[in-house]
Structure 1
Amino acid sequence: MPNSKIETREKPMDLGALSIFTAQRLVFRPGDTGYEDELAGFQTGFAQRPDVVFAASGTDDVVAAVSYAAAAGLPIGAQATGHGLPDASAGGVLISTRRMDEVVVDPAARTARVGAGVRWGQVVAAAAEHGLAPLNGSAPSVGAVSYTLGGGLGVLAREFGYAADHVRSLELVTADGAVRQVTAESEPELFWGLLGGGANLGVVTALEIGLLPVTRLYGGALTFDGREVDPAAVLRAYTAWTETVPDTVTSSVAALVYPDLPMLPEALRGSYLVTVRVAYTGSAEEGERLVAPLRAIGPAHEDSLRELPYTESHTIHSDPDFPHAYYGENRMLDGLDTAAMERLLALTGPAADRMHVVQLNHLGGALARPAANAVPHRDARWLLRILSPLDDSTDRASLREFYEEVLTGVRRHVVGRSLNFTFASGDRTEGLYDDETRKRLAGLKATYDPANLFRRNYDVR
């Protein structure tokens, strides 16, 4: 096995070699018309300034980009939608996969082949035509492939597990420019590492995923005004409620103070809202019975719990659909300290000097079941997330210190961090994997990417 500590220097960009690719493919360099547009993504707070952008329309373009970068000794990054940028970066090669957006559904096999640039909304729509559904996340604009490579915590996660658990095969371009069709049977160790290992081992150009015979669900959001109903009381009632529900119920609770800005609806400006989100595949009648304890918490500011087609599952969370700047962290927990959570709500609520979004996801159920992939921390019972919008005046070092302060109280319950919800902190990889998983991933990295070309991510090496 190659030495995992091998070091490489970035070589000067060979413009002569690049011109060969430019003549046949869509390539952008700084100053070119279209360069800025190609870099644009959902996360606007961390700039990328690569030496060259390959706008890939197919696997052959990805092979060409990887081969060029390998020959020049340049680091490689890949971007579909730009939701999960690990950090700001300069130099190297960026492979833009947004044009690789084909979805092909096989209704008989209950599978879909999903290209590297496909967004979840496309997969949901294509699958619904056949009475099927993918294990998508809460936002339809998120890239399906990158989401799944990080594990994929979806709308129905407690019932069906991680999205990575339902992958049948992957098409991968490795650092040597080879195209590999990877399955659990053909290359079991590589298959294991790709699912949960993020972008460390190459560029995944397509996935074949399993689909589920789900066409509708009972779900929505129950929102409380945090100035009328005690947010700590909502949290206590919610966590007690989760102890009573079956694995067919997936839920979370979120709290945020909306800024007083003119572009927001007047009813939201300055409001402090605490929202419980629910998704359940059982009947609407049983769903109503299950959520009755939540409605008993107090008067609801808004109640959207209802039976809905699966194509409307994104309305449960109603995540922002516009590009913006943000920073975020998370902790996966094996239990909750009520006093620590109440303190966290107090520090991030109306008394905070800026807007923070706090979310607590109920885990367990199918998420705790072992699977043949590298998705770690399956013993976690909760995922605690904090996300903060950024602006030009934000002191990011102070924001990181603030996160450490508010997360101190949950420290004794921390089992790790979730790769999918570690936003813009690419230099911090501790806790993303347990020791054994990290060792296995580092071994795969040494085999398939010994020069560490794919390091514009949360690097396992």
Structure 2
Amino acid sequence: MTTTHHTPDLFALSDIHGPVLRPGDPGYADEVTGFNLAALHTPDVVIGATGAADIVTAMRWASATHTPVAVQATGHGANFPIDSGLLITTTRMTEVDIAPTARTATAAAGAKWRHVLDASTPHGLAALTGTSSDAGVVGYTLGGGLPILGRAYGYATDLVRSFQVVTPDGTLHETDHTNEPELFWALRGGKGNVGVVTQVTFDLLPVARILGGAVYCHGEHTEPLLRAWADWTRTVPPEMCSAFSLLRLPPIPQIPEPLRGGFWARVAIAWTGDTTEGERLIAPLREAAPVAVDTVEEMDYAAMDRIYMDPQDPLPARESCKLLRDLPPDAISTLLAEAGPTAKDYPILMVEIRHMGGALSRPAAVEDAICARDAAYFLQTVAIVASPPAAEATEQATAALNTAMAPYGTGRTMVNIHGAPGDEQDRARAWTPEVYAHLRRAKQNYDPANLLRYGHTVTPA
């Protein structure tokens, strides 16, 4: 489906059904603020879209006036402040439609994974969500989507059937693997480089319950737990999904006792197989070091937030990531030297290593722009940057850790968790050179004026 174009003299933001706000207008600050408070947006105008028609109108206006455009749903991935141009917010577009027999979900541009879970899990169906159901469906999926069940089922984009998307010229497209395949390719792992997605349709999985939760040890037991986990990951089947984390948690009410204010080593797990077998498999982790807190239990998939217990309230955060080829003993020693128990006053809230492989290494059935299928592990950092000194200390510690771990990396990142995008060379690290060149060609085809230039974007070829 493609809409007809209108002449530029008919473009008018007064046609928008949602709010149209400029700096100083009542409601402007609330409209531009997302979950990540480290990126404070100050666009020239913000539009609160209520549906695809509003986004079409906004993009036609932007194209006619040569105004750069950014999009925000939840703001979890807001690593880049927008200081001009047009911001389209999609928080009012939260519709989710479940087709139980076909096992599909169609989610609008501003839907969160919680909306999908609430609609799908009563049918015994699960979506490939990340660690927090508060994140937005579309932004997560455009970056590939790294699910908590990824080793068992692959990336979120692997299950996408189609997108409805508005390209920068104001045209509304329906795209799938047969209809405009170049556009479909670029939207699966290429982030928001070629258009503004208004809805996405994807497959659901017949998963109702899982074994999930985490084993926590006090930080002084980091080394035995980490080394045991690294050895353990080489033996477990692909249905076992896990991550090791170092957590330095602040003493704030949002963090439950007894974790509040502590330094913890954690292994989070999600297992889709038989519960008894899952308990048997994780026994070596419980024996590796004294367990202080154990939250592993059989649970409804709708309760998946209990596994990682990501923050639910907005906060100023900085993150980074690095894809790792392997995790040999010397890599563990390197990580411990940088971020282990002896690193006093370490400014990073979380250092996490996710076990990759399994279905995450499987080639996509339909070619996409994901470039992480060769990684065995994934290293991520998250820090709170509430003040300039905290931000500076965080940047230094993050750079030091990533430099130290570079010998074990693939040289690439994942676009969703890359952190604040730097120059072109830095942004290109999210893709292989071949995929990056392909993405630039797609950008040239669909956004030659580079209107979608905010965030982790590429330049037209």
TM bucket by the smaller chain? over 0.9
Aligned-partner SS, 2:165: strand
Q: Alpha-carbon deviations, 1:158-188, whole Å to 9, x = none?
A: 0100000000000000011000000101122
Change (3 A) 1:225 1:319: same
Is 1:189 matched with 2:185? no
Counterpart in the other structure of 2:444? 446
> Is residue 99 from structure 1 mapped to residue 92 from structure 2 by the alignment?
yes
Which of the residues 270, 276, 280 maps onto 2:271? 280
- 1:73-112 to 2 correspondence within 5 Å? 73-112=66-105
Say if 1:247 and 1:366, in contact at 8 Å, map to a contact too. Answer: yes
| Counterparts of 1:313 and 1:263, CA distance in 2 | 18
Letter in 1 for 2:212: G
SS at match of 2:101: coil
Aligned to 1:390: 385
Contact in 1 for aligned 2:49/2:90 (Cα 8 Å): yes
Render the CA deviation track for 1:291-311: whole Å, top value 9, x for unaligned. 111111122111111111111
Q: What's the counterpart of residue 4 of structure 2?
A: none
Q: Does 1:341 align with 2:337?
A: no
| Aligned residue in 2 for 1:457 | 455
Higher relative contact order (CA 8 A, sep 6+): 1
Q: Show CA shifts across 1:117-160 (max 9, x none).
A: 00001101111121111111110100011101101111110010
**1:423 aligned residue:** 419
Q: 1:306 aligns with which of 292, 297, 301?
A: 297
Q: Which amino acid counterpart does residue 432 of structure 1 have in structure 2?
A: A
> What CA RMSD, in Å, does the superposition of the two structures yield over aligned residues?
2.0
| Structure 1 letter corresponding to 2:96 | V
Q: Is the 8 A contact 1:337 1:410 kept in 2?
A: no
- Select which of 396, 407, 411 maps to 2:406: 411
1 CA distance for matches of 2:353 and 2:178? 36
1:154 aligns with 2:147: yes
Is 1:351 matched with 2:351? no
Any conservation in 1 of the 2:138–2:197 contact (CA below 8 Å)? Answer: yes
- Residue 431 (structure 1) shift: 1.2
Instruction: Provide the C-alpha distance between the structure 1 equivalents of 2:89 and 2:238, rounded to a whole number of angstroms.
Output: 38
1:5 corresponding residue in structure 2: none
Give the percent of matched residue pairs that are identical in Structure 1 and Structure 2.
Answer: 39
The question of 1:29 aligning with 2:22 is answered yes
Q: Kindly indicate whether the alpha-carbon contact (under 8 Å) linking 2:385 and 2:394 is maintained by their aligned counterparts in 1.
A: no
Find the aligned partners of 1:361 and 1:321 in 2 and give their Cα distance. Answer: 21
Within the alignment, does 1:253 sit opposite 2:244 as a pair?
Answer: yes
Tell me if the contact between 1:46 and 1:424 (Cα under 8 Å) persists in the aligned partners.
Answer: no
Equivalent of 2:158 in 165, 171, 174:
165
Contact kept in structure 2, 1:133 and 1:214, CA below 8 Å: yes
State the TM-score, normalizing by the size of structure 2: 0.92
Alpha-carbon separation, structure 1, partners of 2:234 and 2:330:
18
- Residues 348 and 356 of structure 1 are in contact (CA less than 8 Å); yes or no, is this contact kept in structure 2? no
Where does 1:1-400 land on structure 2 (aligned, <5 Å)?
20-21=14-15, 24-227=17-220, 229=221, 231-260=222-251, 267-349=258-340, 351-371=344-364, 372-394=367-389, 396-397=391-392, 399-400=394-395
Q: CA deviation at 1:397?
A: 4.9
**Paired residues of 1:86 and 1:456 also in contact (CA < 8 A):** no
Cα distance in 2 for residues equivalent to 1:81 and 1:55: 13
Deviation at 1:99, TM superposition (A): 0.7
- Identify the range of structure 1 (234-243 vs 297-306) with the bigger mean alpha-carbon deviation: 297-306
Task: Give the secondary-structure state (helix, strand or coil) at the position aligned to 1:429.
Answer: helix
Distance 2:261 2:160 in 1: 43
Residue of structure 1 equivalent to 2:5: none
Tell me: CA distance 1:19–1:213, structure 2 relative to 1, closer, same or farther (3 Å).
closer
The 8 Å contact of residues 13 and 58 in structure 2, kept in 1 or not, is answered as no
* Partners of 1:386 and 1:379 in 2: CA distance: 20
Distance 1:133 1:310 in 2: 7
How far apart are residue 205 of structure 1 and its match? Answer: 0.5
Cα deviation for residue 348 of structure 1 reads 2.9
Cα deviation, residue 233, structure 1: 1.4
- Contact 1:368 / 1:379 at 8 angstroms: preserved in 2? yes
Contact 2:31 2:89 in 1 (8 A): yes
Amino acid paired to 1:219: G
Contact 1:118 1:144 in 2 (8 A): yes
Give the match's secondary structure for 2:270: strand
List alignment gaps of at least 5 residues for structure 1. 1-13
- SS for the counterpart of 2:151 is helix
C-alpha change, 1:413 and 1:353, in structure 2 (3 Å) is closer
Q: Number of paired residues?
A: 445
CA contact (8 A) 2:190 2:439 kept: yes
In 2, the alpha carbon distance for the partners of 1:343 and 1:352 equals 18
